[in-house]
Amino acid sequence: MQQIIVAVTLISSVIRSSEQMAITRIQPLSAHLQPCATPTDPAEKQVYTVWMKSLVFNGHGCTIYGQDGRVAYRVDNYACSRSREVYVMDSDGRTLIKLLKKNFGVFKTWKGYSYRHGPSDLEEENAKPWFSVQKAHRILKKGGQYSSRAVVTVCVSGKVYRIDGVSHKSEYRISDADGEVVAETKRKQTASGVVLGEDVLSLTVGAAADRLLVVGLVVVCGLLSRCI
Q: Please spell the DSSP secondary structure of 97-138, one letter per residue.
A: EEEEEEEETTEEEEEEEE-TT-GGGG-STTPPPSEEEEEEEE
Q: How confident is the model at residue 187 (pLDDT cuts 50, 70, 90)?
A: very high
List, in sequence order, every beta strand (DSSP E) within the chain: 46-51, 60-65, 71-78, 85-90, 95-104, 107-114, 131-140, 146-154, 160-164, 172-175, 181-187, 200-205
- Residue 2 pLDDT exceeds 50: no
Give the model's pLDDT for residue 166. Answer: 67
Q: What are phi and psi of 51, to 5 degrees?
A: -110, 115
CB 90 within 8 A of CB 73: yes
What confidence tens digit (pLDDT) does each residue in 74-90 have?
A: 998 765 666 788 999 99
Examine the pLDDT at 149 and tell me if it is beyond 60: yes
Using the predicted structure, report yes or no on whether residue 7 has a pLDDT greater than 60: no
Collapse the DSSP code of 218 into the 3-class scheme (helix H, G, I; strand E, B; otherwise coil) and give the result: helix
- Band the pLDDT of 167: cuts 50, 70, 90: low
Residue 144 has pLDDT above 50, yes or no: yes
More reliable by pLDDT, 157 or 201: 201
Radius of gyration of the chain (CA): 20
On the 0-12 / 13-18 / 19+ scale of CB atoms within 10 A, 131 is buried
| C-alpha–C-alpha distance, residues 214 and 95, integer Å | 16
Amino acid making up residue 71: V
Q: Which residues contact 48 (CB under 8 A, 6 or more apart)?
A: 64, 65, 66, 67, 72, 202, 203, 205
Residues near 57 by beta carbon (within 8 Å), at least 6 away in sequence: 22
| Spatial contact of 167 and 149, defined as CB atoms under 8 Å apart | no
Mode of pairing for the β-strands spanning 107-114 and 131-140: antiparallel
Residue 147 confidence class, pLDDT cut points 50, 70, 90: low
- pTM for the structure as a whole: 0.73
Domain locations in the chain? Answer: 44-227
Specify the CATH class of 44-227 in words: alpha beta
Instruction: Indicate the pLDDT class of residue 39, thresholds 50, 70 and 90.
Output: very low
